[in-house]
Structure formats: C-alpha cells, structure tokens
A and B are shown apart, each in its own frame.
Chain A
Amino acid sequence: MDEAATIRAAQAGDAEAFERLVRSYDQQVLRLAMNLLRDSEDAHDVYQETFLRVFRNLGNFRFDCQFSTWLYRIATNLCLDLLRKRKVRRTEQATVETDEGVVDRLEAVAEARPAGDPQRAALNRELRSSIEHALAGLTPRERLVFELRHYQGMRLKEIGETLGSSEEAAKNCLFRATQKMRQALGEFL
C-alpha cells in the first residue's frame, strides 16, 4: 500500500494503517527531538505529543503538502516551543543526573557509541562537549534549520515549507548556523 493509500485508510479509522504511518516516521521524529533537545524525557514528550496531534488532526490533512512536511512541522513546532522556553528560563544545563551520577548531557545521549582508546575517547569527549556548547549558542531557529539540514538531510526548500518560511530564509539561517559552528569549533580544524 503506498503512503497516500495508508493515510486515507488511517483517516477512515484504520488503526493498523495509522500504526504503519507512525512506524514509517517515528524513529526520525525521535532522533530529531533528541538531537534538538538533548534530553530523553523531553524527546519522549515531543514524540508522544507529535503523534497524538497527528492522530487528532489527520482528518484535516488534505494532501496539499507532503505528509512528512506536515508531520515535521508539528514536531519542529513542539521542539521550537520547548527550546524557546528553555532560552527564557535558561534551564538547559551541560550536565544531567543519571543513575551513575552527574554526567555530561552529550555523554548521556552518546552512550551507545563504541569505546575506543582512552586518548581518543578523551578527545571525543572534548569535541562533543564543544559541539554541544556550539549548538547551545545557536538561536532556536538556527539550531532547528541546522539539525534538519545536517542531521536529518532535508533540503532547504523542504525545511522552508516545514517551518512555514521561505527557502531563502532557511538558507540564511543555515548560513548563520554554519558560521557560528565554524567559529566555535575552529580549534579542531
């Protein structure tokens, strides 16, 4: 069954079709949320809310854009809201408490990486920490555009559509973001 047929079936109340839609995109949505928010609880909440909103509003989806664009619009708006709230509250910290004590937030999310030799691991830790700080220095929109282009591989045109903005505006955001990242990570180049 192609995607349009699956969407129509889900709109008609077919629970299995809806689940197929979720399974087609849920890993990307979770990775997007995790990359942007760097917090598994927040990423979990964005995941839930995104797909609940999709479920509630799927009947209003009229195929006037790609389903993925519509879905990402919901997910990115939720992430943006959270990022903006964090900026206001300045609650984002570089460390996070886990069962094994306080660890670097980025370490916590990159725990699945295989361990190399100690010297390389230390360098990677330093690099990841620098990337984390560089990302934290971006505005929420710059961070979002950078994430969508760099980690999600979306084209600027699609990013513009997802964010309800123009391709040119997305390009400017990406330009500013890469400049900042280049500046912040200059010592590693």
Chain B
Amino acid sequence: MSCQEVRDLIPLYLYGELSFDEEERVEQHLASCAACSAERARCEKLTALLGEGEAQVSAELLARCRRDLAAALAKERRRRGFLTAARGIWQRWVVSPPMWMRPVGAVAMLTLGFFGARMLPEDSAALGPLARSSPPAVVGRVRLVDTNSSGEVRVQYEEIRPRELRGSFQDERIRRLLLAAASDPTDPGVRVESIDLLKDRTADAEVRRALINALRTDENAGVRLKALEALRPYAHDPETRQALAQALLTDKHAGVRIAAVDLLADVKEPDVAGALQQLLHQEEDQYIRQRSLKALAEMKASYGTF
C-alpha cells in the first residue's frame, strides 16, 4: 500500500469503517511509516476539533418543538377522528344500511326532499307556494310515521334549528355562549377556538375559572394546553398557580407538564418550590426534571425536601 492510499483511508480507518483486510494493511503501514503516522495524528486532531462544530440544541427549543407537536397532533387526531366517524356513518347508514333502516331511510329521504325543496329560491316555479314558508331546519328525530286510507303520509318529527349570534365580547349572550362552548363535550375543536377567544379576557374571573376548569378536566391535551397558555398572565394568582401545579404533577400528557413547568419556573413562590420538589420524586421526563432543578436552584430551594 502506498503512502497516498493509506492517507486516503485514514479517515475511514478512524471511523472504523474499513474492512478487516484494509484495516490490517493500514495498520501495518502506519507501524513502519512515520509520515503517515503523523497524518493519522492530524486526522485524529481534526476529529476532535470537529466536536466544536456540533450545534447545541437548547432545552427551550426542544420544549417548544414538543409543545407545538402536541398541538399539531391533537389537531391531526381531531381531523382523523372526524373522517373516520364520517366514513363509518356513511358506510353503515348510507352504503349498506340494515334492513329495518331501509323504510325509515325512505321516509328520511322524503323528509329531506321536502325540506330541501323549501330551501330552493322562492321564485322556483316548480315549488310554488311551498317555497314561501319557514326557514330550513335539521330533522332531529322522527317520532311517528304512518299513512291513512287515502295514501297520505304523516311524519311527526323534532327539528333542530341552527341559530347564529353576532356581536362583541361585551354582549353578555356572546360571553355566555363562549363560556359554554369552552366546555362543550362534543367538539374539542370548538373548545380550542373558544379558549383562544377567551384568552384575552382573563381579567374576567369567570373566564379564568372556565380556563382553570378546562386545564383540570378537559380530556383533550390540546385543549388543556390552550387553556394553560391562556392562563399565563395569571400565573401569580394563587388559584391559577394551584391549577398549574396540579397539571404539573398529575397531567398524563408530557407536553402539558412541560408547558406547566416552563410557566411555573418563572414564578418564584414558596408553594411552587414545594410542587417542583414533589415533582422530582415522580417525574421521569428528563427535560422536566432539569427544568425543575434549574428553577429550584434559581429560587435557592433544596431539591430533596417538601
């Protein structure tokens, strides 16, 4: 093996990426060639120097990535859940409905056609006077279906009318609806949107209570995260702080606990130190542990007692 060949192979030799035979030949050459040995030492130094070029990932960046991912995944799961449910409903009730459903389906189609027709423009010649009646509604439940001897069909149903309300947050009705929507069990998306709107109104004690309630009880981690972020300006408020400490110690989702520890670490209160100390006895996530230790050190609190 020539000196040039050996020098070309030294970097791969140092990475341990040569075959057994190649490695053997390189080592034999190095044992007898001072110049190539010196080159090997330079390459080793280069490897050590390159360690200086390694980018450092800050704990803050990691925490932000994890937080944002948790929110993005919550959104993705909502979307997926909706699509799955919609596909299931379509398959079960439209593509292959059970036999007993078919007559009901026929009546439902009839009802749908009836109301559909009423939604057409008023000047539709085909509909005539029918088109000039009340606004459209969603059929909630058909209670009774029968026919009489003359072939007339009778359908008794309940209807759900969507209503729309527009106005500012100062409008008490809007405020009430937003507070109700923040805990609406049917749609986490609506809860997230409501909390997003409420986050600028945390001076209102009732809004804060709704957010604390969402943080404590909402089953969706994305909603809890949103509520936690909204409570940020009130981290010094004892009730809010208590809810944050509870989330830190008991929330199942690490993203929520990370957001809680980030928030509480900035609050230098004795009860926070107690929560952080307690956390160290049970938390497995390394980032949360490190953040707690750092916060305790800044507060000059011990790690072991609580």
A109 near B55 with CB under 8 A, answer yes
B42 and A189 within 8 A (CB): yes
Q: Distance (Å) between the CB of A94 and the closest chain B CB?
A: 13
Q: Are A156 and B55 in contact (CB under 8 A)?
A: no
Not counting A110-B56, A131-B52, A175-B12, a sample of 20 additional A-B residue pairs whose C-beta atoms are within 8 angstroms of each other reads: A15-B73, A19-B254, A27-B57, A30-B57, A30-B61, A30-B62, A31-B55, A34-B57, A35-B54, A43-B61, A44-B65, A52-B73, A56-B76, A110-B55, A113-B56, A131-B49, A151-B54, A155-B17, A174-B15, A185-B46
Give the number of chain A interface residues (Cβ < 8 Å). 49
In angstroms, Cα B74 to Cα A52, docked, is 11
B176 part of interface (Cβ distance < 8 Å)? no
User: Can you name the residue of chain A whose Cβ is closest to the Cβ of B8?
Assistant: A175
Interface size on B, residues (CB 8 A): 34
**Interfacial chain B residues near A181, Cβ < 8 Å:** 46, 50
Instruction: Please tell me if A83 contacts chain B, counting CB pairs below 8 Å.
Output: no
Nearest CB of A to B67, in Å? 11
Q: Does B64 contact A (CB under 8 A)?
A: yes
Q: Are the C-beta atoms of B55 and A34 separated by less than 8 Å? A: yes
Q: Does B162 contact A (CB under 8 A)?
A: no
Asked whether A185 lies within 8 Å of B61 as measured between CB atoms, the reply is no
**Does A95 belong to the interface (CB within 8 Å)?**
no
Flag whether A8 is at the interface (Cβ < 8 A).
Answer: no
Is B143's CB within 8 Å of the partner chain A?
A: no
Choose among B8, B46, B68, B76 the residue that contacts A189 (Cβ–Cβ < 8 A). B46
Chain B residues in contact with chain A, CB under 8 A? Answer: 8, 11-12, 15, 17, 42-43, 45-47, 49-50, 52-58, 61-62, 64-66, 68-69, 72-73, 76-77, 252-254, 285
Which residues of chain A come closer than 8 Å to B56, judged between CB atoms?
34, 109-113
A109 to chain B, nearest CB (A): 4
- Neighbouring B residues of A44 by C-beta, 8 Å: 61, 64-65, 68
Query: Considering the chains assembled together, what is the distance between the CA atoms of A189 and B44 in angstroms?
Result: 9
What residues of chain A have their CB less than 8 Å away from a CB belonging to chain B? 15-16, 18-19, 22-23, 26-27, 30-31, 34-35, 38, 40, 43-44, 47-48, 51-52, 55-56, 106, 109-113, 124, 127-128, 131-132, 135, 149-151, 155-156, 171, 174-175, 178-179, 181-182, 185, 188-189
Complex contact A174–B57 (CB within 8 A): no
Q: Which residue of B lies closest to A150 (CB)?
A: B50
Chain A residues within 8 Å of B55, by CB: 31, 34-35, 38, 106, 109-110
Return 18 A-B CB contacts under 8 Å, by A number: A30-B61, A44-B65, A48-B72, A55-B73, A111-B58, A113-B56, A131-B53, A149-B17, A151-B54, A174-B11, A174-B17, A175-B8, A182-B11, A182-B43, A182-B46, A185-B46, A189-B42, A189-B49
